[in-house]
């Protein structure tokens, strides 16, 4: 037996899937709420009951895509024992994975009038908390080994990581070598003791 919450969740998922299909087909800027309702096979009224406005729908799609990206990043970070290597290579992977999600980049560019880097700079507490979960174990291991700068909390380290990732996304002219240098010069120097 399904509870009312389950059907509500199923309906939201159906709408989100329909929205993504529409965005991929027409582009986010040309997709209307009517297009999404039609694609989902529901009325506009039902759509607005689940998402009272377009920004709420967009935010949930972005949250889903960021969650999926985070899973890939966590898997990649698990490969590293050394925080310095993770700050460079894990950061490079994170930035390249974000860039590879064309739909997320297009949504951010249209809905947030900017680039993924600018969007990332406007991060919220939930995003920061998820990043602390991702990077925290590596930071703690490095802290236990006496390598993390004194007084640097995991939250502050993640703020630095987010900021430098945003800069790397904004500097799409750097390439891998340039980004690695950026991560070494800014992240490694900011997080680890000399």
What confidence tens digit (pLDDT) does each residue in 47-99 have?
999 999 888 898 888 888 888 888 898 899 889 889 999 999 999 999 999 88
Helix (H, G, I), strand (E, B), or coil: what is residue 9? helix
Domains identified in the chain, total number:
2
My answer on whether 153 and 102 are in the same domain is: yes
Token reading at 119: 């969007």
Surface-to-core class of residue 69, CB atoms within 10 Å of its CB (0-12 exposed, 13-18 middle, 19+ buried)? middle
Who wins on pLDDT, 126 or 50?
Answer: 50
My answer on whether 89 and 48 are in the same domain is: no
My answer on whether 12 and 107 are in the same domain is: no
Residues 74, 135: Cα–Cα separation, whole Å: 8
My answer on whether 29 and 66 are in the same domain is: no
Residues 169, 171: Cα–Cα separation, whole Å: 5
My answer on whether 150 and 80 are in the same domain is: yes
User: What is the pLDDT at residue 36?
Assistant: 97
pTM of the model: 0.76
My answer on whether 177 and 94 are in the same domain is: yes
How distant, in Å, are the alpha carbons of 18, 46, 181 from that of 82?
Answer: 42, 50, 17
My answer on whether 48 and 67 are in the same domain is: no
* CA 14, chain centre distance (Å): 22
The CATH number linked to 115 is 1.10.357
Residues 20, 117: Cα–Cα separation, whole Å: 21
User: What is the pLDDT at residue 117?
Assistant: 53
Q: What backbone torsions phi and psi does residue 148 show, to the nearest 5 degrees?
A: -85, 140
User: What is the pLDDT at residue 31?
Assistant: 93
My answer on whether 110 and 38 are in the same domain is: no
**Residue range(s) defining the domain that contains residue 182:** 59-191
Residues 168, 161: Cα–Cα separation, whole Å: 10
Q: Is-contact 154 132, C-beta < 8 A?
A: yes
Who wins on pLDDT, 15 or 98?
Answer: 15
Q: Which of 139, 119, 133, 131 is nearest to 59 (CA)?
A: 119
């Amino acid at each position: 037996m399904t509870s009312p919450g389950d059907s509500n969740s199923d309906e939201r998922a159906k709408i989100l899937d329909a929205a993504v299909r529409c965005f991929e087909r027409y582009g986010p800027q040309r997709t209307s709420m009517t297009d999404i309702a039609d694609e989902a096979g529901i009325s506009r009224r039902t759509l607005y009951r689940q998402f009272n406005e377009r920004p709420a729908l967009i935010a949930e799609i972005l949250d889903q895509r960021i969650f999926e990206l985070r899973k890939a990043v966590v898997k990649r970070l698990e490969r590293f024992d050394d925080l310095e290597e993770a700050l460079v290579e894990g950061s490079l992977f994170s930035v390249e994975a974000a860039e590879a999600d064309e739909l997320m980049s297009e949504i951010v560019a249209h809905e947030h009038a900017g680039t993924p880097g600018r969007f990332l700079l406007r991060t919220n507490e939930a995003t920061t908390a998820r990043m602390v979960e991702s990077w925290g174990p590596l930071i703690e291991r490095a802290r236990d080994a006496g390598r993390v700068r004194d007084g640097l909390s995991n939250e502050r380290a993640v703020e630095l990581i987010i900021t430098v990732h945003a800069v790397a996304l904004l500097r799409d002219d750097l390439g891998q070598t340039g980004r690695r240098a950026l991560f070494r010069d800014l992240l490694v120097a900011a997080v680890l003791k000399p």
